[in-house]
Amino acid sequence: MPIIHISNSESKNLIPKEYSNESELEQFIAKYPSLITLDSETPLTFIKTQVGLPNAGTLDVLLIDHEGKMLVVEVKLNRNAQSRREVVAQIFDYVSDLALLTADDIDDAVEGELERVLRSFDELRDDDDQFNIRWQRLRDNLRSGSVRVVIAVDSASDDLKRMVRFMNEHSDLDVRLVSISKYSNDTGDIILVPNLIVAPEESRPVNLRHKRSSRDEFQAIISYYDSICEQGFESKGNGVNYRQLTTREFPSSVHYEFFDYRDKMSAEIHIENAKYRFISPLLVRFSESLANSFQSATCEFDPKWNKGRGRLRVISDLSISAETIAENMKQLIHLTFNELVSEFKKHSDLVN
């Protein structure tokens, strides 16, 4: 976390200065993300300030790293009246709301800046393979709630420190508390001095410092499926209770997916972008025509999922073997893939 010195000329006298408002501190973080980044961490790239979320209001600053992990910044000046409890509640609100959104939803909210930033990480901006890898990592992080949060302040009270430490000690959330002091000299230079007050690893008990892993039943399904699937349809990602199967033949925002509901397992087709809603009638037809095509499973269309975009589900009870559930996914792909490709070709004007 380097000190930022915005210089006009040399001077020896440094004078503490207040921020004119929270927007000023937001802009400094947007321009100099290293203010909130540890030296050992992947650099952050700014996406947008004042990002509107469907339920949690407007988050102050949104950034992302090269691994597809988002960082949300909540800026609060000590002199402002908002209570410490409200700040903490806002953090949970942001993370829970982001976990309900797809990468496409967030890209829409930031007017395409998310895709532009992810593509900018490569020298060849048209390297779709690298972009798709990062996009997939982002999806996995969102689905698992793996979002870092920074509360950025000019100074922190003892109560706020206590509350942030408690969040880190009793949850898997990655919440940091960073103070950024502002100084100026006789000639108007600005010096920004960051101080990491609370980091999650320092306060989290050892027994919480681990990633959740998939349960054995779900992992058995994925392992068997990958051993029998056609080339190009392997499972992707490392989600605890889901694995996606994407293809080059149509956008990854429409994909096959395994999902572990704890009491049931499912092979599914998801629509995660509103512009591909034209696929929904086809999924409805599949749910009717393929009702008897799967071993010991129920085929249904869920019209309410993801803001009405819909998903097709082939649901199995836990009494069904891992091999059968994996075979059902292979069968689902066999029976639907060509028609999906054909439907996308009919709507090529919406895809490109």
CATH number at residue 149: 3.40.1350.10
Which of 229-240 are b and which e, b meaning 16 or more Cβ less than 10 Å from the residue's Cβ? Answer: beeebebbbebe
**291 and 176 together in one domain:** no
Question: pTM of the prediction?
Answer: 0.71
Count: domains in the chain: 2
- Domain final residue pick, 207, 224, 249: 207
Q: What percent of the chain has pLDDT over 90?
A: 42
d(CA 157, CA 127): 47
Q: How far apart are CA 109 and CA 52, in angstroms?
A: 7
146: alpha, beta or left, given left = phi > 0 and alpha = psi -120 to 50? beta
Of 135-149, 210-224, 320-334, the least confident: 210-224
What are the phi and psi torsion angles at 146 (to 5°)? -85, 85
Q: How far apart are CA 287 and CA 269, in angstroms?
A: 11
45 & 172 share domain: yes
| More confidently predicted of 209 and 92 | 92
- Same domain, yes or no: 190 and 259: no
Q: Are residues 16 and 145 in the same domain?
A: yes
DSSP-assigned beta bridge partners for residue 75: 152
Q: Which of 149, 157, 47, 137 is nearest to 93 (CA)?
A: 149
| β-bridge mates for residue 147, sequence order | none
User: Residue 181: which pLDDT band, with cuts at 50, 70 and 90?
Assistant: very high
- Are residue 203 and residue 315 in the same domain, yes or no? no
Of the candidates 207, 234, 259, which is a domain's last residue? 207
Find the domain containing 101 and state its range. 4-207
Residue 227 has what pLDDT?
Answer: 93
Q: Which residues pair with 153 in a beta bridge?
A: 76, 179
Same domain, 283 and 150: no
Task: For residues 298-302, give the mean pLDDT.
Answer: 94
Indicate if 108 and 186 belong to the same structural domain: yes
